[in-house]
Chains A and B, each alone.
Chain A
């Protein structure tokens, strides 16, 4: 046995053995669950065994802070310069010198910015996009959100180039060193992308204080991964022939990279840019908790004081900003080079010249005309009272219905499952997950997922882990129950697709924070509210992947099924669905990851899971606790991702799709 095992790769047991193995494993789990006294140490993780990783991490962070004060101060000072410049330009206006002699320069005029955005839209996507981009900014101005929105935009304007350059350089490094990519960069990215946003805030708060610079640093780190991935992917996708051409043309290494590979990879890189912008917006909003200010802070304040109208107003401004930035950057990604003619700069770049001119003229004019510097009160509309009265009307008329639904959900679904999960023996959970890993991906996968699961227990966070899985699990199931039928609908009718796709596109651009506002208004705080917020945020990939998966089923197979005399029902259940299932599962995988990221944010409205742990750490500025709780969430996400990914890959291979 040992000899043959050494030569042959480890064989997976035949498929007929697996049901028996699973029954045995589940029986053992049930036994342990029902009779915890058999082995109490395997059910509740013993306190003595807890490894104080959080304490160590916290101590390390403190040590870094005290030993490297010079570094954090220097970084902070360096970061402050461009940040101040951007914020002054867009939001605050410049103040040079001190005291009464100080010269004050105005910020960019709101009207100029609105027109400039419209013009960018025009160049990138024609009249429609011009109206959309200009309209979004005009909305922000008219509804009195300009100052906050420009603070937010200023942070984004600084963070995005920072992320793009860093991401590009790391991506190039990874592309040139496949080993580093495989063993260092990709695992790091996985952790970074599954780590909840809040977990980034705590160490930044500790190192840089409650300032916009902290927000900039947190955003800078959070929004880099998609650019790194996009860069590596884009470079790998450049056809080998283009690479060969670069060599044969006699390019040096640097010439080949900058003049051949990167330009050829431009479209994929710009998709990365779009993701960076959207993630940066998301993070800048959340960073309002560590001093970013801007629209996020307005939402936060309004939520704390339960000011419905103000929260929604700021939230809608975020949505407007998100839509404008998303559509503009998407259009930029689709843009193809057009030949420029003309000798002079303004002949070659008419729009750029005109845009700068308009900004300059309106801003200069704003010195004389105050209405151009700050939008006149008489022009702005406050929608707050309208929203408030709408919400009041809903709660007054539907209070009983909403309350009944809430209580019913809580008593009949949420609480029983929570209690069920709470008693889950940690050792059995690790065993079951390890078994699944072994079945789906062999020894390697098992050796990845088991330590990740054990980490959750080892840190003493097992109860909170289970609470997280409970809420995440229920939300995922609900999201799947809503999302998959909608996806099916969108796949079967083009008309439904034309309605559903724009809606989910827009939902996807919105920062996670925004989803909390309406749910809190209607359902107050608690697990049901959290679940609804999570579902509304996480349902998008379930819809999208289902639609995509079903539409991707080869037309030849559909025709073959038709010729064989399948009814529409048979066709769906026996041909389309099985073939689309791997894709649908990938959608569910994304749903889980989104649910996890949203889950942490819902800690704001009083859940009792790992989110709460991060939240407490943020309040206490306890970096160790926050990071470890964040890592635990990341590990849950990675475990789910790897298991589902392995299943999907196997299914695709079996179906011959891969």
Chain B
């Protein structure tokens, strides 16, 4: 099992190959318990059983990820899987026991206290599960707070904070205190606050988990809208697989402190690395995840219907192809046909029959 898992992350990192790597971690370990560091030094890659024997808890075990510029990278896992610990290692809120964390080409673990404060002040933003708003400050003061600790002059930070408040749609509520806002509104403040410093990397730690399902969907859409404007590099933590599928460019799935698989939503659905991943993907609406290219068959003679881009999701043309009853051509980025999708394969996919491919 271990061997299988360590092989799969490599396959998933292809997607980031094109873009610049913004944040990466290599071989990060976080062990809790007495003498964790010396133990890890003597025993480079212990497995779960060895750790248990040593009385240590492996919150994060040998995690390696690369997050590309402008990408939404989601770390997904159930509670206790170590996803939050990994995020806190990436932002160096906690010190990893071993490994390295490369942010914009330099090792974050070697940064001094002073440098780290500078990095956080100017390059990092973070949104928290329970909002973490300061109860004694108004909305606008909360948003301006990170600027205020850097010593940005009052006028300037006020203007910037106002801009952010407007961006998240809270205009008119600047003077409210957090307790006077609903959960969704509070998280909008949290988002505005984390964006106030124009971060290069944006950490979101289960930002919508504390919200009602309807508000959660609304906030997910809001995040997509913001991202279409801002193009941030995002590391997003969630325990909700549907949320991950909906938002992610790529997903890392964690279990018991290990990353089991990294890949695009489509990768995870079509090629789950383990039964555990397959279990998650089972109830996913495949048509919304799988692209035309994923269902593509060799170009046949009878392909005289319309053409679709290979990156388009099946769901967007499923009704149409079933109605016409004829295969659609699949094209690459340049519009050149590279294959076709048959109505039957779409029907099979919608019906949950796997045999289509």
Contacts and interface: CB of A to CB of B under 8 A. Distances in A.
Contacts of B122: 250
A608 to B, nearest CB: 53
Given A250-B150, A255-B149, A337-B177, A244 B135 contact: no
B323 interface: no
B132 A239 contact: yes
B31 to A, nearest CB: 20
Interface stretch (B101-109, B123-131, B232-240, B334-342): B123-131
Contact of A248 (B93, B134, B138, B177): B93
Interface stretch (A201-209, A258-266, A308-316): A258-266
A245 B146 CA distance: 9
A260 B137 CA distance: 10
Interface in B44-92: 88, 91
A263 B119 CA distance: 25
A247 B122 CA distance: 13
Contacts of A264: 134-136
A242 interface: yes
B128 A244 contact: yes
Contacts of B179: 336
Contacts of A249: 120-121, 145-146, 149
B117 interface: yes
Contacts of B137: 263
Contacts of B121: 249-250
A21 B136 CA distance: 57
A258 to B, nearest CB: 11
A8 interface: no
A251 B149 contact: yes
B214 to A, nearest CB: 24
Nearest to A247: B93
A255 B122 CA distance: 16
Contacts of A259: 145, 149
Given A244-B93, A336-B179, A263 B134 contact: yes
A248 B150 CA distance: 12
A244 B132 contact: yes
A37 interface: no
B175 interface: yes
Contact of B120 (A239, A248, A339): A248
A251 B137 CA distance: 16
A593 to B, nearest CB: 33
Interface string B134-156: 11111000000110011000000
Nearest to B135: A264
Contacts of A266: 135-136
Nearest to A255: B149
Interface residues of B, number: 31
A511 to B, nearest CB: 33
B134 A250 contact: no
A321 B120 CA distance: 50
A396 interface: no
Interface string B259-303: 000000000000000000000000000000000000000000000
Contacts of B129: 241
Interface in A551-609: none
B132 A241 contact: yes
B166 interface: no
Interface string A226-258: 000000000000010110110111111001000
B320 interface: no
B149 A242 contact: no
A248 B122 CA distance: 10
B150 A260 contact: no
B128 A245 contact: yes
A481 B334 CA distance: 90
B118 interface: yes
A249 B128 CA distance: 12
Interface string A336-350: 110100000000000
A259 B130 CA distance: 19
A248 B94 CA distance: 11
B195 to A, nearest CB: 12
Given A248-B93, A336-B179, A337-B177, A241 B120 contact: no
Contacts of B125: 248
A255 B147 CA distance: 13
Interface in B173-209: 175, 177, 179, 197, 203
A251 B151 CA distance: 11
Nearest to B174: A339
Contacts of A242: 132, 134
Contacts of B117: 250-252
Contacts of A247: 93, 120
Contacts of B135: 263-264, 266
B262 to A, nearest CB: 25
Nearest to B128: A241
Nearest to A241: B132
Given A245-B126, A252-B117, A260-B134, A336 B93 contact: no
Nearest to A242: B132
Contacts of A239: 130, 132
Contacts of B136: 263-264, 266, 337
A270 to B, nearest CB: 12
B124 A248 contact: yes
A241 B190 CA distance: 12
Given A241-B129, A241-B132, A248-B91, A336 B177 contact: yes
B178 to A, nearest CB: 11
Contacts of A260: 134
Contact of B146 (A244, A250, A336, A337): A250
Given A241-B128, A247-B120, A249-B120, A339 B138 contact: yes
B254 to A, nearest CB: 20
B82 to A, nearest CB: 16
Q: Which of B117, B132, B150, B177 has the most CB of A within 10 A?
A: B132
Interface in A265-284: 266
Contacts of B134: 242, 245, 260, 263-264
B189 to A, nearest CB: 12
Nearest to A253: B113
A261 to B, nearest CB: 10
A252 B149 CA distance: 8
Contacts of A336: 177, 179
A642 B88 CA distance: 39
Interface string A530-569: 0000000000000000000000000000000000000000
A266 B134 CA distance: 11
A245 B117 CA distance: 12
B351 to A, nearest CB: 44
Nearest to A260: B134
Contacts of A245: 126, 128, 132, 134
A502 B135 CA distance: 30
B42 to A, nearest CB: 23
Contacts of B197: 250
A516 B198 CA distance: 66
A250 B177 contact: no
Q: Which of A239, A242, A245, A260 has the most CB of B within 10 A?
A: A245
A454 B88 CA distance: 51
A244 B92 CA distance: 10
A242 B130 CA distance: 9
A252 B117 CA distance: 7
A439 B175 CA distance: 57
Nearest to B123: A250
Shortest beta-carbon contacts, A-B, top 8 = A250-B121, A241-B132, A250-B120, A249-B146, A245-B132, A248-B126, A263-B136, A241-B128
Given A241-B128, A244-B88, A339-B177, 5 more contacts: A242-B132, A244-B93, A248-B91, A250-B146, A336-B177
13 contacts: A241-B130, A244-B88, A244-B132, A245-B128, A248-B124, A250-B117, A250-B118, A250-B149, A250-B197, A251-B149, A252-B117, A337-B177, A339-B175
Interface of A: 239, 241-242, 244-245, 247-252, 255, 259-260, 263-264, 266, 336-337, 339
